[in-house]
Amino acid sequence: MLAELQADRSRLADLEAQILPLERAISVLRAEQALLQERLESYKYPVLTLPNEIMSEIFKHFPSRYPPLTGPLSPTHLTRICRKWREIALATPVLWSALSLYISHLSTVEEVHERSDVWLKRSGSCPLTIFITSFRRHVGCEMFPGIVAHRTRWEHLKLYVCGLDLSTIDGPMPLLRHLDVELLEKSPTVLAFHDVPLLRTVILDHYACASVTLPWVQLTSLVLTDVGPSQCSPILQQTTNLVHCELEIGVEDDDLDVAYLPDRDITLPYLDSLVLTNPDGETVHVFLNSFVVPGLRRLTLEEEFLGSSPIKSLARFISKSSCVLQEVHITGERRVHEDSYILAFPSVPNFSFKGPYLEETINNENSGDEIDSEDVESDSFDSE
């Protein structure tokens, strides 16, 4: 028994002898650890030394035009970095002035209201940018009452909805500058926008054109998509102050619309840029003949708008408007070689072409236009 006790005492002494240098080593390591931690804690990252006002200005450039409510591209992401960033973000109303709201089939009134109400409160009195998307039929303002209640602060409004009765958003919008409406079906009522004194830029699709009435004369930029000539012509007759115009002509359901020509010319004296596209591939070249645009400098169109003799048609267009084109962009399939355009219109400094050149038709189509190149000069001379 005594021998065992003596052995235990000996073993304990050995363990203490081994532990002592290890404890000393750990003590040295802990001292170094504390020193490094103190040094790190005393370091201030440059971005955290910036004044709050500068950080706020930086934050204003973070979100996109229509930021999502959640995720890495949402301003809410800034509130999760650190306490200081959260305080700055919540104290920057303009950061919350753009709201993108998606209403699904499962969305409830309470859910939509809760999400939007938070942003509206944080935005203070800033002008609002609103984007509402919904594929849910018969969506009314009851789904977003808070947003509608703040219509006097709307500056940019974009709607991509199905079955929305536009009358539910009727009311003064004194700050509205940009309106973008795409409807998946026609609104049951036509909404007349009256109190929109600052409205200048409008984008409408086929159903939206038939569902709204606007103070057309005050617009400077207009984009119409999937519209026929007979639908957009009455509108263009009223938009006499346009500077930029884009028309996507769609006539697949109306054969008579292909040959439609307005009763009188569409005169747009201040138009600087005109873009014509025709995704349906129908022949609508007569529509171009109705334009009188003396101030036009940039023209973008598919060759189909110029008919069977593109160069001759373009010459007539320029002659009729007496415009001095600086840029002409021909898109889509071409039957006339780019060299023929450049040769026929030496006064146009910039020609560009996007789309395939159909070489197999060159003998039938291009030769006729080259022969008519003298007519181009005579047309221009006659216009003087």
Give the closest residue to 305 by CA, choosing from 326, 278, 345. Answer: 278
Residue with the larger pLDDT of the pair 45 and 19: 19
Domain locations along the chain = 47-95, 97-203
Give the closest residue to 132 by CA, choosing from 140, 124, 210, 201. Answer: 140
Mean pLDDT of 225-245: 93
Report the C-alpha gap between 94 and 56 in whole angstroms: 10
DSSP assignment of 166-230 equals GGGG-S--TT--EEEEEESS--SSPEE--S-TT--EEEE-HHHHTTEE--GGG-SEEEEEEE-HH
Two tokens, residue 43: 């370091």
Across 187-191, 292-296, 300-304, 335-339, least confident range: 187-191
Q: pLDDT-derived band of residue 323, with 50, 70 and 90 as boundaries?
A: very high
Q: pLDDT-derived band of residue 281, with 50, 70 and 90 as boundaries?
A: low
Residue 321 has a pLDDT of 96
Residue 300 has a pLDDT of 96
Give the closest residue to 378 by CA, choosing from 336, 344, 339. Answer: 344
Reported as a single tens digit per residue, the pLDDT across 134-182 is 877 666 666 677 888 899 999 999 999 887 778 888 999 999 999 999 9
pTM: 0.79
Residue 47 has a pLDDT of 75
Report the C-alpha gap between 119 and 98 in whole angstroms: 8
Residue 143 has a pLDDT of 65
pLDDT-above-70 percentage for the chain: 85
Residue with the larger pLDDT of the pair 202 and 308: 202
Residue 371 has a pLDDT of 38
Report the C-alpha gap between 283 and 280 in whole angstroms: 9
Q: pLDDT-derived band of residue 205, with 50, 70 and 90 as boundaries?
A: very high
CA separation, residue 359 to residues 114, 308, 333, 356, 369 (Å): 60, 15, 10, 9, 15
Report the C-alpha gap between 284 and 258 in whole angstroms: 5
Asked if residue 317 lies in contact with residue 291, where contact means CB atoms within 8 angstroms, the answer is: yes
Mean pLDDT of 35-61: 84
328 alpha-carbon distance from chain centroid = 24
Length of the chain: 384
Q: Does residue 360 have a pLDDT over 60? A: no
Contacts with 149 (C-beta within 8 Å, 6 or more apart), sequence order? none
| Average pLDDT for the chain | 85
Residue 261 has a pLDDT of 65
Q: pLDDT-derived band of residue 260, with 50, 70 and 90 as boundaries?
A: low
Q: Does residue 10 have a pLDDT over 50? A: yes
Residue with the larger pLDDT of the pair 259 and 346: 346
Residue 365 has a pLDDT of 44
Across 33-42, 177-186, 205-214, least confident range: 33-42
Residue 278 has a pLDDT of 85
Across 32-46, 51-65, 294-308, least confident range: 32-46
Across 86-90, 148-152, 248-252, least confident range: 248-252
- Ranked by mean pLDDT, the top range of 58-67, 249-258, 337-346, 367-376 is 337-346
- Ranked by mean pLDDT, the top range of 34-43, 60-69, 198-207 is 198-207
Mean pLDDT of 292-302: 96
Two tokens, residue 283: 């022949």
Report the C-alpha gap between 262 and 25 in whole angstroms: 94
Q: pLDDT-derived band of residue 372, with 50, 70 and 90 as boundaries?
A: very low
CA separation, residue 296 to residues 77, 242, 270, 379 (Å): 45, 11, 8, 18
Q: Does residue 373 have a pLDDT over 50? A: no
Strand-by-strand arrangement of the 221-227 sheet:
98-103, 128-134, 154-161, 178-183, 201-204, 221-227, 244-249, 273-277, 298-302, 327-331, 350-354
Q: Does residue 253 have a pLDDT over 70? A: no
Residue 340 has a pLDDT of 94
Give the closest residue to 90 by CA, choosing from 131, 55, 49. Answer: 55
Helix, strand and coil in the chain, % to nearest 5: 45, 20, 35
